Amino acid sequence: MSADQLLAHFDGVRQTGPGRWIAKCPAHDDTSPSLSVRLLDDGRVLLHCFAGCESLAVVQAVNLTLADLFPEPLHNPTHLGSSFPRERQPFSPMDTLRIIARECMVCALAASDAVAGRPVSEADAQRAALAVGRIFAALDAMECRP
């Protein structure tokens, strides 16, 4: 499956660089893009949901399989023994920073309400907690969590 065919299954797709996109994750109720999509030189596609959804859940949510993330020759059993070079940083630092910045803004808005003495709704508190989790997931993905 081509990258264009795969991306057509996602909402809110935005290209962030050559062979790199972000989109709304179909595996959870995503209101802003938390899914990083990267096309590798060998045709494989990497998916990473910064909210923590597994790749299998992401592809199943759009009626695809994990095999759809691999180029056609890999569907041939004779290629099962071949190995690919391991990607050192499969996700763009800029994609990760964009996600962290957006989630930090969510936390800042909730904190600003609290500091101003305005009550923080349960929904806003839950969204802020989700933002904190996404920030830590992004830091873990980039191997730079303090």
64 is a domain residue: yes
146 is a domain residue: no
Q: What is the C-alpha separation between 102 and 90, in angstroms, rounded?
A: 20
24 is a domain residue: yes
- Report which residue type is found at 13: V
Give Cα 133 to chain centroid, integer Å: 13
118 is a domain residue: yes
pLDDT tens digits, one per residue of 14-35? 999 888 999 999 999 988 899 9
pLDDT tens digits, one per residue of 87-141? 555 667 788 888 888 889 989 988 888 889 998 888 888 888 888 888 888 877 7
Q: What token pair was written down for 16?
A: 């962030």
* Predicted local confidence at residue 84, as pLDDT: 42
77 is a domain residue: yes
Which helix H or strand E contains 93, and what residues bound it?
A: helix 93-115
Q: Which domain holds residue 33?
A: 3-141
79 is a domain residue: yes
Rounded to an integer, the average pLDDT of 70-93 is 54
Quote the number of domains for the chain. 1
Q: What is the C-alpha separation between 23 and 9, in angstroms, rounded?
A: 10
